[in-house]
Amino acid sequence: MADGMFSLDGRVAIVTGSGTGIGRATALLLAEHGADIVLAARRVALLENTAASIREIGRRALVVPTDVTDFGACEHLVGTALEEFGHVDVLVNNSGGSINKAPESWTVDEWHQIVNLNLSSVWFMSQVVATPMLAQGRGAIVNISSGASFLALPTVAPYGAAKAGINSLTRALAAAWTGQGVRVNAVACGAIKTEGYNKSTKRAQQTDDSILGPGNAIGRVGRPEEIAYPVLFFASDASSYCSGQTLWVNGGVKAPSTM
């Protein structure tokens, strides 16, 4: 059938940060397209809620509470997935987040916290999952980056640097592994209505639907599922000729005024 290339039947996907927002929407969409899902994050109640929704649509869901900034915890996550399902075919590195501060106000601990959450976690998870994926000669890794990796956003400078690191890491790992059957791509998100984005608008004393930063052509904040669909593309055979790419999903570039 026409959309068979998007099918994930028989595949197992690990989605980090899958209790809310983009991670939850992605986990549900991958399940709708046939994947069994391993859910990882720190807030167990939210993971269980996502798991219940996945089971309602007839797919299996495994909850593994995980701090992805800890390499040993990442090893445990992948090991548990392999023990339960026997293979891992898709990894979505979605965990991330930031705080907003002027560059001169960040502490050393805050720098390490943000870089570890957004960049080190991607390195840890990708390195661990590569072993079984390379052994089976097949796999897809999708990293969630951000428009902050391309823009000059002073109040989230460490976050933007970490996300730019994800873009570079995506290219480097793709160069290393694509020839062995493991594709690596990234989705850089624009303004998306998530728990973290709502916190940012409140700090800026703006409404939840306000577009922070450079405007987009569509003129609205995106929805989590509008990131989930590009992730599905990269996770599935629909993107079988794509590797090392970072797709910026941001509502389009807004043309400058001519008035």
For the annotated catalytic residues, the residue numbers are 159
Crossing angle of the two packed helices 21-32 and 44-56, in degrees rounded to 10: 20
- CA dist 168 and 84 (Å) reads 32
Crossing angle of the two packed helices 121-136 and 157-177, in degrees rounded to 10: 10
- CB of 251 closer than 8 Å to CB of 220: yes
Q: What are 253's strand-pairing partners? A: 216
